């Protein structure tokens, strides 16, 4: 959840005091006060909005407030968000509501939001969609529905999506779900997008053709299981019939006999 202050231009002289010792973002309403008017807001009104833009709670802070009641509303909203496994705000389908989603929504601001930025499906990308995204900012989605509940957005390895980040010198042998690591790897630098170190690329995590970076335990395809005693790059030795070791011993014996 994100706290966002919406100031009014008529009160901007008090902004310095309002934001002192605060890390919460504050934006300024236009001179016409369209946002305040649209929400019917009064000075020092406090709104709690759900991830879909639905108003959950409203209280004016001037006469005082019940902190426990506000906390209960927030906790209920967080619980509902977790149980619904919501991906509202994940505009780009990366399974994370982050700055890329915010930038895409701002780029679509005022339009019909055909790319999924119209989070509350009211036909226009506006401040309600912005507030919905900010309330879900930082959410890690599972199931990767993307675009506020639409179809999964295609994402391939090497593209700017799915949690991949740009690197100028990444590995040429990236960790991939369902694939055993190779015995040897080209030591040249990989220049492009790939999963951060320690994460695995799961190419179909959000549906066919829609991949994402995940922890190994979260891979949708498990690693192949090798028989007991087998490891990549190591000869198979059978306890019952140590063929490899016997061959080595025999070869050494032949050399010893020749030297004698």
Are residues 169 and 131 both part of a single domain? no
Evaluate if pTM is beyond 0.85: no
Are residues 193 and 129 both part of a single domain? no
Are residues 29 and 86 both part of a single domain? yes
Are residues 76 and 189 both part of a single domain? no
| DSSP assignment string, 60-94 | ESTT---HHHHHHHHHHHHHHHHHHT--TT-TT-S
CA–CA separation, 211 and 202 (whole Å):
5
Handedness of CA 207, 212, 216, 217 (dihedral sign): negative
Give the model confidence (pLDDT) of 127-161 as tens digits: 888 888 888 888 777 544 434 444 456 788 888 88
Check: CB of residue 173 under 8 Å from CB of residue 186. Answer: yes
Q: What is the pLDDT of residue 66?
A: 81
85 pLDDT higher than 50: no
CA–CA separation, 231 and 209 (whole Å):
31
Q: Kindly list the distances between the CA atom of residue 62 and the CA atoms of 32, 44, 46, in Å, as whole numbers in the listed order.
A: 24, 6, 10
For the chain, what is the domain count?
2
Inside any domain, residue 210: yes
Are residues 12 and 114 both part of a single domain? yes
CA–CA separation, 27 and 6 (whole Å):
5
Are residues 110 and 177 both part of a single domain? no
Are residues 28 and 123 both part of a single domain? yes
Two tokens at 136?
Answer: 């879900």
Inside any domain, residue 92: yes
Mean pLDDT of the chain, nearest integer: 74
Inside any domain, residue 148: no
Domain membership of residue 169 as a residue range? 165-218
């Amino acid at each position: 959840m994100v706290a966002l202050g919406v100031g009014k231009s008529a009160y901007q002289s008090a902004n310095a005091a309002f934001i002192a010792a605060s890390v919460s973002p504050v934006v300024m309403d236009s001179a016409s006060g369209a946002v305040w008017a649209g929400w019917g807001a009064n000075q020092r009104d406090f709104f709690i909005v759900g991830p879909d833009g639905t108003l959950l709670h409203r209280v004016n802070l001037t006469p005082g407030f019940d902190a426990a009641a506000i906390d209960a509303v927030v906790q209920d909203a967080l619980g509902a968000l977790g149980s619904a496994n919501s991906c509202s705000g994940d505009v780009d389908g990366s399974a994370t509501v982050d700055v890329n989603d915010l930038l895409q929504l701002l780029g679509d601001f005022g339009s019909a939001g055909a790319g999924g930025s119209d989070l509350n499906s009211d036909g226009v990308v506006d401040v309600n969609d912005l507030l919905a995204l900010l309330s879900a900012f930082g959410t890690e989605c599972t199931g990767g529905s993307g675009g506020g509940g639409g179809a999964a957005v295609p994402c391939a390895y090497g593209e700017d999506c799915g949690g991949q980040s740009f690197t100028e010198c990444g590995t040429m042998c990236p960790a991939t779900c369902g694939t055993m690591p190779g015995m040897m790897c080209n030591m040249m630098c990989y220049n492009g997008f790939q999963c951060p170190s320690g994460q695995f690329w799961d190419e179909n995590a959000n549906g066919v053709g829609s991949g994402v970076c995940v922890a190994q335990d979260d891979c949708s395809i498990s690693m192949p299981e090798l028989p007991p005693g087998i490891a990549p790059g190591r000869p198979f030795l059978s306890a019952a019939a140590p063929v490899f070791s016997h061959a080595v011993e025999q070869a050494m014996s032949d050399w010893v006999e020749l030297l004698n």
